[in-house]
Chain A
């Protein structure tokens, strides 16, 4: 029972961390230009 409590808590914390990272990436505008991002990797940095 105790092990399960810990594991549930751990899984929620990990899922929550994933959610937080996604919300951060959304806020920092990483989905604004998906077409450009796909092309940028083909060229050197300006």
Chain B
């Protein structure tokens, strides 16, 4: 690169062309942003896959496919070996843009020797590799894909086994069987009903009944299992749920119909029993997959951040290992800008660490030899060597896990709306059916068979088909609506718990504010553009914040990084106070200095900044009648600034994890329903103690797994959105339940009087289910 070009880009010209490979902004006279992209472009051209660039559509939400020199981690424990010697590895793919990327990755892998399967699942963003030969071949395969600009992170074999969706496939199989049976049984039922009018002979009718019975009974035995199991489990614990009346109804109706068939009588209800199961399974399947998708997306978020720790072996070699396999006493090397993977004591290096994700403290803390550092903090300054301390019970993480478990045990079980309704509903219905039987048999003087049949009709009419669909149908629609907005609802009952929330407790650092420090306003634009051109080449958190603040600026070549000090190119230096040659004065908070030849040094200061839409979100929450509070681990002054800026009067500072639990439990003791929103390790226990909890996707892994809701993106707006959607969902659920009960109340006298023939039952059940479904779709209004 010529000196003239350096000067040109230092002058702060905005970039106006995009890199030919990754699509990021570059100076107008260049085709590529970096050597990695140039190499990737050349590789793709050589393999004859150049069409990729014409066919792809870059997704602005995804990471740009820019090759980064990621260090290789220990793959061995992720690889499974099959009996026939084939090896298998599943990896999460980061940077997938569109279908063309899938084609590119698979095409490149197809040219590798020894690979049997290399297939990308675009829905789950996973790459599955199966090959023959040594384990080390994986390095080569992964390297081939990473050179294209994608990042691959191995999935744990145990996580994969847990993600293997057995329950989902069981439900789909049950649904297929129930669908097959329902349609065929309904065919013969319609023939029978037509025959009642047109005069079908008894022999033909009997044949039709037998056909129905032979299809319906095995189908119910198979497809009804999800309900039977759930009902048995509830009864065993002395509870009832919606599945108890469903199971009793289905079993009774089926056996009664069989008796009728054997006796060769007129009415059977096989079609009602089978289509009931079919309708209910549709609800279950939709519900399962909507939430499964949200959970898979949440798991992907956590996996993508999984970083191994660099351990300095006694022989002087640095090896990357997973954090859980590090023994106490091991020496860990933490580069500048890297997240510290273990709890330990610093043995070498002087630096500052950003502990915001652990303690909520927003300002970096200085550490030197002998100082303690915790897993999850970020090393902002010079490289550190850390002596890992005892893993297990002694760590801060283990302490938080214990507190979370204790808080969850105290929280008690939430009873969902559907179960609260069925507690009253099931006994009422069963008593009504029994009374009907006794009245017809004992008082009206009908035969046992006829009385039983009427009682069965009562059970079918009141069988809570619409009632059982009322809640799942709404949940599916609400969950998918939130999913589209980047909000992942992980818990089935979260929606109902969210609807009652009247108090929101926010953590400050990383929740109300952005997880990374941002450039303080008021810097000189020309100096900023120059600094950003240098900062773009660094992975240091402050350098990244500076580059982000400057917007797209042409990157320059020939930047030399001095680890722990700063960046240098063509005589321009960007970095620490000492590196920029500033002698006088002391630093106040995080800062970066820029030194240019012939110009006075310029300082860039960093401060925490509120998340976008924070003020608007709190105003919206207030309008919903919700009280907002802050519970922060940070210093009082920092909390006061944020609280004043957002108009929050109840703000507490300097809280530890146990204090946050105490606050949440005190609020709940006052009868309030608390939503806790937090991201730090120290928020984890309070998240578990609250009625319902939410975390941004930047949160500590533990907090993210504890939270009921995870929201993606920088904006705070999802917090108000989830409560609005939950309240509307609750309204629609109540309407659905009210409608179902009213419907049953009207038809019940008809059933008791014995007017409900099989075709009336079938029509009543289908129409009420359809109305409930249609009503649930109203939730989708006002989205786009």
A: residues with CB less than 8 A from B are 1, 4-5, 8, 11-12, 15-16, 18-19, 22-23, 26, 31-36, 38-40, 42-44, 46
Contacts and interface: CB of A to CB of B under 8 A. Distances in A.
A35 B103 contact: no
A19 B681 CA distance: 50
A46 B107 contact: yes
A32 B123 contact: yes
A30 to B, nearest CB: 12
Contacts of A16: 180
Which secondary structure characterizes the binding site on chain A? helix
Contacts of B173: 23, 26
A33 B123 contact: yes
B99 A12 contact: no
6 closest A-B pairs by CB = A39-B99, A36-B122, A46-B107, A43-B103, A46-B106, A33-B121
B168 to A, nearest CB: 10
B109 A33 contact: no
B122 A35 contact: yes
A42 B183 CA distance: 36
Interface of B: 55, 98-100, 102-103, 106-107, 109-110, 120-124, 169, 172-173, 176-177, 180, 183-184, 187-188, 203-204, 207, 211, 215
A34 B123 CA distance: 7
Given A36-B121, A36-B123, A15 B184 contact: yes
A26 B177 CA distance: 13
A25 B414 CA distance: 39
Contacts of A36: 99, 102, 120-123
A42 B51 CA distance: 12
Contacts of A43: 55, 99-100, 102-103
A33 B207 CA distance: 43
A36 to B, nearest CB: 3
Nearest to A19: B180
B100 A12 contact: no
A22 B100 CA distance: 29
Given A19-B177, A46-B103, A39 B184 contact: no
Contacts of B99: 36, 38-40, 42-43
B55 A1 contact: no
10 contacts: A5-B207, A8-B207, A11-B187, A15-B183, A33-B122, A34-B123, A39-B98, A39-B99, A40-B99, A43-B102
Given A36-B102, A43-B103, A46-B107, A26 B121 contact: no
Given A15-B184, A33-B124, 10 more contacts: A1-B203, A11-B184, A15-B180, A19-B180, A26-B176, A32-B121, A33-B122, A33-B123, A40-B99, A46-B103
Contacts of B180: 15-16, 18-19
Contacts of A46: 103, 106-107, 109-110
Contacts of A35: 122-123
Contacts of A26: 169, 172-173, 176
> Most B CB atoms within 10 A — which of A5, A8, A19, A43?
A43
Nearest to A9: B211
Contacts of B100: 43
B102 A40 contact: yes
Contacts of B110: 46
Contacts of B123: 32-36
A4 B204 CA distance: 9
A43 to B, nearest CB: 4
Given A35-B122, A46-B107, A12 B215 contact: yes
Nearest to B215: A12
> Most A CB atoms within 10 A — which of B100, B180, B187, B188?
B180
A29 to B, nearest CB: 10
